[in-house]
Amino acid sequence: MAFQTEYPFTLPKGFVDSEGNLHRTGVMRLATAKDEIVPLQDYRVQSNRAYLVIILLSRVITKLGDIKYIDTDIIENLFSTDLAYLQEFYRRINEEGAPKVHAKCPSCQTEFDVDLLGGGGAAGQGG
């Protein structure tokens, strides 16, 4: 089974771009040490520690809807619900790994693990 470094997500509300398009689905990659260190040198973080999350998320979100380049302006303009969701999502995938639930099919009694972040395929069964 391949090591997963990118995780899909769906924002609770979504980002509305300047043309009025709504973007809700996206992809976040695992953070590197550099992702967490570089923002600390940014003057915006040095003057306001709360800005760290804005820069960090702009580095690790690789796609949001049709938007392929995510910058701090996009993260700054997310609804607060979506920002909170992304902070928790970041914490889960980087600190805990992808949570799984062990399940059993009621029909055939096959047991399997379901990845709660990756879209529902059975872990260890190619899916």
Q: What is the number of structural domains in the chain?
A: 2
**Co-location of 21 and 80 in the same domain:** yes
Which pLDDT score is estimated for 50? Answer: 92
* pTM listed for this prediction: 0.74
Asked if 80 and 104 sit in the same domain, the reply is no
**Which pLDDT value is given to residue 116?**
59
65 and 15, same domain (yes or no): yes
- Are 92 and 105 within one domain? no
Query: Is residue 82 domain-shared with residue 109, that is, in the same domain?
Result: no
Q: Residue 23 falls within a domain, yes or no?
A: yes
| Site of tokens 């520690």 | 49
The pLDDT value recorded for residue 117 is 54
State which H helix or E strand residue 82 sits in: helix 80-91
Q: Looking at the structure, do residues 91 and 104 belong to the same domain, yes or no?
A: no
Domain that holds residue 58: 6-96
Same domain assignment for residues 107 and 80: no
- Is there a single domain that holds both residue 11 and residue 62? yes
Same-domain status, 18 and 69 = yes
Examine residue 1 and state whether it is found in any structural domain, yes or no.
no
Q: Are residues 92 and 121 in the same domain?
A: no
What pLDDT, in 10s, does the model give residues 65-122?
999 899 999 999 999 999 999 999 999 999 976 556 667 788 898 877 666 555 444 3
What is the number of alpha carbons within 13 Å of residue 94 lying toward its C-beta? 18
pLDDT at 68: 85
pLDDT tens-digit series, residues 27-56? 999 999 999 999 999 999 999 999 999 999
For residues 89 and 117, state if they share a domain.
Answer: no
Indicate the pLDDT class of residue 123, thresholds 50, 70 and 90. very low
Q: pLDDT tens across 1-21, in order?
A: 578 899 999 999 999 999 999
**How far separated are the first and last CA of the chain, in Å rounded?**
10
Cβ proximity of 27 and 61 under 8 Å:
yes
